[in-house]
Amino acid sequence: MLGIFGITFPIFALIGLGYVVTRYEVFKASDTRVLGKYVMNIALPGLLFNTVATRPITDVINPGYMLAFALGGFATLLLVFGFLGLTRTGPNRRAIAAMGSTCPNSGFVGYPILLLAYPDLAGVALAMNFLVENILIIPACLILIELAHSGGESSSVGRRIAGAFGTLLRRPFVIGLIVGLAVSAAGLPVPEPLTRLTGMLAVSAAPVALVVIGGSLVGLSPKGNLLLAAQIVVGKLVIHPLVTAGIALILMSAGLSISPDMWAILILTTSMPMFTTWVVIAQESGHEGLASLALLGATAMSFVSLSVVLAIVS
C-alpha cells in the first residue's frame, strides 16, 4: 500500500501545488497557459522523439495494445452515448458526455503516473496512446459532436474533421512523434548530443505538466447538471477501464499478444481523468459548466480510483 501511495501522492501533490500557486496568484492563469504551451510544444515533442527514435520500431508499435485501446475507446463512446439516449438526454449533451467518458489525459496525468509505475515503458506507451487518440478516438468523438450539432449534415462534419486533422499535423508533439517513428523505422543512429538534449526536455515534461493541470482547475465553474456530470465521471473512471479490460482479455484469448505490463498500462491509461481540452470543446456547444464540473469531479476522484487500479494491476 505504501508503494502505491508513493506513486499517487507526488502526482496529486504537484497537481495540488499547481492549484494553490495559481489560486493565490503566485502564478497567474496566463502563466499556467505558458507552462502548458512549453509542455505541449517543447517538452513532449522532445520526449516523444527521444523515446521513439532511440528504439527499434518493433519496440514502439505494439499492435495488441493499440487495438485494445482503440476498440475500448470506441466501445465506451458508443455505450455511453447509447445509455444516455435511454435517459432522454439531448444529442449534443450526449455527444459531449460520451467524449468526456472516452478521452483520457494521457500526456499531463497519464505519463507522470506511468513514469513512476513503469519507467521503462512510460514513453513508449505515451507514443502509442497519442497515435490512437489523435488519429482514431478524438476524431471519432468530434464526428459524433458535429453530427449532433449540425443535425447530421455531412458537409459540416467533413469540414470539421478536415480542419481537426490539419491542426493535428501542425502540432509539435505530433511532428516529434512522426519524425521519431521515421528515424526508428529507418534504423538511423541518433547523435549523442541530440539524445541528451531531448532527454533533458523529457525529464521536465512530467512535473511541469502536473503543475499545469492543477492551475487549469482554478476558475472552472462548478455549476452544471450534477447527475450528468456524475455519470460522465463514472463513465471515465469506471466504465472506460472495465470495457477496455474486457476487450483486451477477449483479444488475448483470441491469440493477440499483450504482455502483463502493457495490459496493466492499458488499464491505468483508460483510468485517467479526461483531458482538459475537452472543456474547451464543450464550450463551443455551450456546455462548459457541465464539462468543468465533470473534470473537477474526475480529477478529485481519480486519486482514489487510480490507487485502487494500481493495487489491482501491480
Model confidence at 266: pLDDT above 90: yes
Residues 277-289 have pLDDT tens digits of: 898 888 877 888 8
Q: Would you say residue 154 has pLDDT above 60? A: no
274 forms bridges with which residues in the sheet?
104
**Band of residue 156 on the pLDDT scale cut at 50, 70, 90:** low
Buried residues in 139-165 as b, exposed as e (16+ CB within 10 A): bbbbbbbbbbbeeeeeeebeebeeebe
In this predicted model, which residue has the larger pLDDT, 222 or 64? 64
- pLDDT of the residue at 169: 75
**In the chain, how many H helices and how many E strands?**
17, 0
The band of 161, judged by pLDDT with boundaries at 50, 70 and 90, is low
What was the pLDDT predicted at 77? 96
CB 300: neighbour CB atoms within 10 A? 14
Is the torsion defined by CA of 13, 23, 269, 311 positive or negative?
A: positive
Quote the CA–CA distance of 209 and 139 in Å, as a whole number. Answer: 24
265-285 mean pLDDT? 90
CA 77 to chain CA centroid, Å, is: 15
pLDDT at position 170 is 81
Cell numbers representing residue 122 in the block: 512510460
Scanning 118-171, the segments in alpha helix (DSSP H) are 122-132, 138-150, 154-169
Query: What are the Cα distances from residue 221, in Å, to 95, 216, 294?
Result: 20, 12, 10
Cβ-count burial of 108 within 10 angstroms (0-12 exposed, 13-18 middle, 19+ buried)?
buried
pLDDT (average), residues 110-133: 93
pLDDT score of 312 more than 60: yes
Please choose, from the candidates 12, 233, 209, 210, the residue with its C-alpha nearest in 3D space to the C-alpha of residue 101: 233
Among 152-166, 169-183, 239-253, whose mean pLDDT is lowest? 152-166
Give 31-73 pLDDT, tens digit per residue.
Answer: 888 998 999 899 999 999 998 998 898 888 899 999 999 999 9
Which is more confident, 290 or 314? Answer: 290
Q: Which residue has the higher pLDDT, 199 or 76?
A: 76
Instruction: Give the right CATH number for 2-307 from 1.20.1530, 1.10.287, 1.10.8, 1.20.1460.
Output: 1.20.1530
Q: What is the per-residue pLDDT for 123? A: 92
Half-sphere exposure of 226 (CA within 13 A, CB side): 1
Residue written as cell 496493466? 264
The model's confidence at residue 147, banded by pLDDT at 50, 70 and 90, is confident
